[in-house]
Structure 1
Amino acid sequence: MQLNLERPDYRYFLRGADGTSALVNERRLTASFVVSPSMLIEAWPVGDAGSMTPGDLDALLALEPELLVLGTGATQKFPPAVVMATCLQQGIGIEVMTNAAAARTYSVLASEGRRVVAGFVFPA
Protein backbone atom coordinates (compact mmCIF):
# COMPACT_ATOMS: atom_id res chain seq x y z
CA MET A 1 0.00 0.00 0.00
CA GLN A 2 1.32 3.41 -0.95
CA LEU A 3 0.59 6.37 1.30
CA ASN A 4 0.69 9.91 0.01
CA LEU A 5 0.84 13.03 2.15
CA GLU A 6 -1.83 15.45 1.03
CA ARG A 7 -1.52 19.01 2.18
CA PRO A 8 -4.64 21.16 2.37
CA ASP A 9 -5.04 23.90 -0.20
CA TYR A 10 -5.33 26.55 2.50
CA ARG A 11 -2.63 28.33 4.48
CA TYR A 12 -3.26 27.23 8.09
CA PHE A 13 -4.15 23.68 8.95
CA LEU A 14 -4.64 22.30 12.40
CA ARG A 15 -2.99 18.95 13.05
CA GLY A 16 -4.47 18.52 16.52
CA ALA A 17 -5.06 20.03 19.94
CA ASP A 18 -5.57 19.05 23.55
CA GLY A 19 -5.92 20.87 26.85
CA THR A 20 -2.35 22.21 26.84
CA SER A 21 -1.25 22.80 23.24
CA ALA A 22 -2.12 22.69 19.56
CA LEU A 23 -0.14 22.02 16.41
CA VAL A 24 -0.83 24.49 13.58
CA ASN A 25 1.12 23.64 10.46
CA GLU A 26 4.48 22.77 12.06
CA ARG A 27 4.19 25.13 15.06
CA ARG A 28 3.27 24.05 18.59
CA LEU A 29 1.11 26.71 20.29
CA THR A 30 0.54 26.77 24.06
CA ALA A 31 -1.35 30.06 24.42
CA SER A 32 -4.91 30.82 23.32
CA PHE A 33 -5.22 31.55 19.59
CA VAL A 34 -7.61 32.02 16.68
CA VAL A 35 -7.27 30.19 13.38
CA SER A 36 -9.04 30.25 10.03
CA PRO A 37 -7.91 28.67 6.79
CA SER A 38 -6.22 31.96 5.82
CA MET A 39 -5.26 33.56 9.16
CA LEU A 40 -3.55 32.71 12.45
CA ILE A 41 -3.92 35.13 15.36
CA GLU A 42 -1.64 34.21 18.23
CA ALA A 43 -1.91 35.44 21.83
CA TRP A 44 -5.73 35.70 21.83
CA PRO A 45 -6.33 37.19 25.30
CA VAL A 46 -8.83 34.60 26.57
CA GLY A 47 -7.78 32.28 29.38
CA ASP A 48 -11.17 30.97 30.49
CA ALA A 49 -14.26 30.40 28.35
CA GLY A 50 -16.52 30.91 31.36
CA SER A 51 -15.43 34.52 31.76
CA MET A 52 -15.54 35.55 28.10
CA THR A 53 -17.23 38.77 27.03
CA PRO A 54 -18.76 39.63 23.65
CA GLY A 55 -15.67 41.76 22.93
CA ASP A 56 -13.52 38.62 23.06
CA LEU A 57 -15.21 37.54 19.83
CA ASP A 58 -14.09 40.62 17.86
CA ALA A 59 -10.99 38.93 16.41
CA LEU A 60 -13.05 35.92 15.30
CA LEU A 61 -15.97 37.90 13.90
CA ALA A 62 -13.63 40.18 11.93
CA LEU A 63 -12.77 37.14 9.79
CA GLU A 64 -16.41 36.94 8.62
CA PRO A 65 -17.15 33.31 9.48
CA GLU A 66 -20.35 31.42 8.85
CA LEU A 67 -19.51 29.21 11.82
CA LEU A 68 -17.37 29.63 14.94
CA VAL A 69 -15.81 26.65 16.68
CA LEU A 70 -14.76 27.34 20.25
CA GLY A 71 -12.32 24.94 21.89
CA THR A 72 -12.47 25.45 25.64
CA GLY A 73 -9.54 23.35 26.84
CA ALA A 74 -9.45 19.79 28.14
CA THR A 75 -13.13 19.97 29.13
CA GLN A 76 -16.16 21.56 27.51
CA LYS A 77 -17.08 24.83 29.18
CA PHE A 78 -19.72 27.12 27.76
CA PRO A 79 -19.14 30.87 27.64
CA PRO A 80 -21.77 33.18 29.15
CA ALA A 81 -25.11 33.33 27.33
CA VAL A 82 -24.41 36.89 26.13
CA VAL A 83 -21.38 35.60 24.18
CA MET A 84 -23.46 32.87 22.53
CA ALA A 85 -26.22 35.41 21.76
CA THR A 86 -23.71 37.76 20.09
CA CYS A 87 -23.03 35.13 17.44
CA LEU A 88 -26.62 34.08 16.98
CA GLN A 89 -27.81 37.70 16.59
CA GLN A 90 -25.41 38.03 13.65
CA GLY A 91 -26.56 34.77 12.07
CA ILE A 92 -23.30 33.00 12.88
CA GLY A 93 -23.40 29.51 14.32
CA ILE A 94 -21.23 28.71 17.31
CA GLU A 95 -20.18 25.26 18.51
CA VAL A 96 -18.48 24.81 21.88
CA MET A 97 -16.40 21.70 22.61
CA THR A 98 -13.11 20.44 24.00
CA ASN A 99 -9.95 21.48 22.17
CA ALA A 100 -9.46 17.99 20.75
CA ALA A 101 -13.00 17.85 19.34
CA ALA A 102 -12.75 21.45 18.11
CA ALA A 103 -9.56 20.64 16.19
CA ARG A 104 -11.23 17.70 14.44
CA THR A 105 -14.35 19.72 13.65
CA TYR A 106 -12.39 22.70 12.38
CA SER A 107 -10.28 20.47 10.11
CA VAL A 108 -13.32 18.81 8.55
CA LEU A 109 -15.14 22.11 7.97
CA ALA A 110 -12.03 23.82 6.55
CA SER A 111 -11.41 20.90 4.19
CA GLU A 112 -14.99 21.31 2.91
CA GLY A 113 -14.27 24.95 2.04
CA ARG A 114 -16.55 26.32 4.75
CA ARG A 115 -15.94 29.80 6.21
CA VAL A 116 -14.97 28.50 9.62
CA VAL A 117 -13.02 30.27 12.35
CA ALA A 118 -11.87 28.54 15.52
CA GLY A 119 -10.79 29.95 18.84
CA PHE A 120 -8.76 27.73 21.18
CA VAL A 121 -8.58 28.56 24.87
CA PHE A 122 -5.62 27.58 27.02
CA PRO A 123 -5.37 28.59 30.68
CA ALA A 124 -3.52 31.84 31.17
Structure 2
Amino acid sequence: MPRWDRDAPASGPVVQGVGPRGFSVDGGIYPGLLLSPERADAWAPPALAELTIADVEPLLRLQPQPEFLLLGTGAKLSFPPRTLVRALEERGIGIEPMDSRAAARTWGVLRAEERWIVAALMPLG
Protein backbone atom coordinates (compact mmCIF):
# COMPACT_ATOMS: atom_id res chain seq x y z
CA MET A 1 0.00 0.00 0.00
CA PRO A 2 1.44 3.43 -0.92
CA ARG A 3 2.55 5.60 1.97
CA TRP A 4 1.64 8.81 0.17
CA ASP A 5 -1.51 10.59 1.32
CA ARG A 6 -2.51 13.53 -0.89
CA ASP A 7 -4.46 15.08 2.00
CA ALA A 8 -1.52 15.04 4.43
CA PRO A 9 0.77 18.08 4.62
CA ALA A 10 4.03 17.77 2.71
CA SER A 11 6.70 16.21 4.86
CA GLY A 12 10.22 14.96 4.55
CA PRO A 13 13.61 16.59 4.33
CA VAL A 14 13.95 20.32 3.77
CA VAL A 15 17.07 21.93 2.31
CA GLN A 16 17.75 24.82 4.68
CA GLY A 17 20.82 26.17 2.94
CA VAL A 18 23.35 25.73 0.16
CA GLY A 19 26.96 26.76 0.53
CA PRO A 20 30.52 25.92 -0.42
CA ARG A 21 30.56 22.88 1.89
CA GLY A 22 27.28 21.49 0.55
CA PHE A 23 23.59 21.28 1.30
CA SER A 24 22.27 21.80 4.82
CA VAL A 25 19.44 19.38 5.64
CA ASP A 26 18.05 18.67 9.11
CA GLY A 27 21.28 19.67 10.85
CA GLY A 28 23.62 17.75 8.51
CA ILE A 29 25.82 18.98 5.67
CA TYR A 30 25.88 16.91 2.48
CA PRO A 31 28.30 17.70 -0.39
CA GLY A 32 26.00 15.76 -2.76
CA LEU A 33 22.45 14.80 -1.89
CA LEU A 34 19.70 12.33 -2.78
CA LEU A 35 16.24 13.49 -1.66
CA SER A 36 12.92 11.72 -1.51
CA PRO A 37 9.78 12.73 0.36
CA GLU A 38 10.88 10.23 3.00
CA ARG A 39 14.62 10.84 3.49
CA ALA A 40 17.87 12.62 2.63
CA ASP A 41 21.06 10.68 1.91
CA ALA A 42 24.63 11.68 1.18
CA TRP A 43 25.55 11.12 -2.47
CA ALA A 44 28.94 10.94 -4.17
CA PRO A 45 28.00 10.98 -7.86
CA PRO A 46 30.34 10.45 -10.76
CA ALA A 47 31.00 13.26 -13.23
CA LEU A 48 27.77 14.31 -14.95
CA ALA A 49 28.84 12.83 -18.30
CA GLU A 50 29.18 9.42 -16.57
CA LEU A 51 25.88 9.54 -14.64
CA THR A 52 23.72 6.44 -15.17
CA ILE A 53 20.38 5.13 -13.95
CA ALA A 54 22.26 3.04 -11.38
CA ASP A 55 23.52 6.23 -9.72
CA VAL A 56 19.97 7.40 -8.96
CA GLU A 57 18.41 3.94 -8.49
CA PRO A 58 17.83 4.37 -4.72
CA LEU A 59 15.40 7.19 -5.54
CA LEU A 60 13.50 5.16 -8.10
CA ARG A 61 12.44 2.50 -5.59
CA LEU A 62 9.96 4.96 -4.06
CA GLN A 63 6.35 3.76 -4.04
CA PRO A 64 4.36 5.09 -5.67
CA GLN A 65 6.84 5.93 -8.41
CA PRO A 66 7.99 9.58 -8.37
CA GLU A 67 6.57 12.02 -10.91
CA PHE A 68 10.03 13.14 -11.95
CA LEU A 69 13.65 13.54 -10.89
CA LEU A 70 15.03 17.00 -10.20
CA LEU A 71 18.68 16.78 -11.21
CA GLY A 72 20.96 19.43 -9.77
CA THR A 73 23.95 19.47 -12.10
CA GLY A 74 26.37 21.37 -9.86
CA ALA A 75 27.27 25.06 -10.00
CA LYS A 76 25.79 25.53 -13.48
CA LEU A 77 23.10 23.98 -15.62
CA SER A 78 24.42 21.15 -17.77
CA PHE A 79 22.48 18.46 -19.55
CA PRO A 80 22.60 14.83 -18.40
CA PRO A 81 23.62 11.99 -20.69
CA ARG A 82 20.90 11.06 -23.16
CA THR A 83 21.14 7.42 -21.98
CA LEU A 84 20.05 8.50 -18.49
CA VAL A 85 17.14 10.53 -19.87
CA ARG A 86 15.99 7.57 -22.00
CA ALA A 87 16.29 5.11 -19.09
CA LEU A 88 14.12 7.34 -16.91
CA GLU A 89 11.59 7.88 -19.71
CA GLU A 90 11.33 4.11 -20.18
CA ARG A 91 10.19 3.92 -16.54
CA GLY A 92 7.71 6.75 -17.04
CA ILE A 93 9.76 9.20 -14.96
CA GLY A 94 10.61 12.67 -16.22
CA ILE A 95 13.84 14.53 -15.51
CA GLU A 96 14.30 18.24 -14.88
CA PRO A 97 17.96 19.32 -14.95
CA MET A 98 18.99 22.64 -13.42
CA ASP A 99 21.91 23.97 -11.43
CA SER A 100 22.01 22.49 -7.91
CA ARG A 101 21.08 25.74 -6.13
CA ALA A 102 17.97 26.10 -8.29
CA ALA A 103 17.14 22.42 -7.80
CA ALA A 104 17.33 22.82 -4.00
CA ARG A 105 14.95 25.80 -4.14
CA THR A 106 12.62 24.00 -6.54
CA TRP A 107 12.57 20.96 -4.24
CA GLY A 108 11.17 23.11 -1.43
CA VAL A 109 8.51 24.74 -3.63
CA LEU A 110 7.32 21.49 -5.18
CA ARG A 111 7.27 19.59 -1.89
CA ALA A 112 5.25 22.43 -0.34
CA GLU A 113 2.78 21.77 -3.19
CA GLU A 114 2.87 18.10 -2.09
CA ARG A 115 4.36 16.93 -5.39
CA TRP A 116 5.68 13.35 -5.24
CA ILE A 117 9.16 13.93 -6.60
CA VAL A 118 12.78 12.99 -5.98
CA ALA A 119 16.00 14.97 -6.36
CA ALA A 120 19.67 14.23 -6.97
CA LEU A 121 21.85 17.26 -6.21
CA MET A 122 25.43 17.18 -7.41
CA PRO A 123 28.08 19.08 -5.42
CA LEU A 124 28.67 22.71 -6.33
CA GLY A 125 32.45 22.37 -6.63
| TM-score class normalised by the smaller sequence | 0.7 to 0.9
Aligned residues: 115
Aligned identity (percent) is: 34
Q: How far did residue 38 of structure 1 move?
A: 1.2
Q: Does 2:34 match 1:39?
A: no
Match of 1:17 in 2: 18
Using structure 1 for the length normalisation, give the TM-score: 0.81
Residues 78 and 97 in structure 2, CA contact (< 8 A), matched pair in contact too: yes
Q: Deviations for 1:44-77, whole angstroms, at most 9, x for unmatched residues?
A: 2313222112211211211231111010110112
Q: Which runs of 5+ in 1 are unaligned?
A: 1-7
2 CA distance for matches of 1:53 and 1:96?
14
2:50 aligned partner: 51
User: What do you get for the CA RMSD once the two structures are aligned?
Assistant: 2.1
Distance 1:45 1:51, change over 3 A: same
Aligned equivalents of 1:108 and 1:11: distance in 2? 13
Aligned structure 1 segments of 4 or more residues deviating by more than 6 angstroms: none
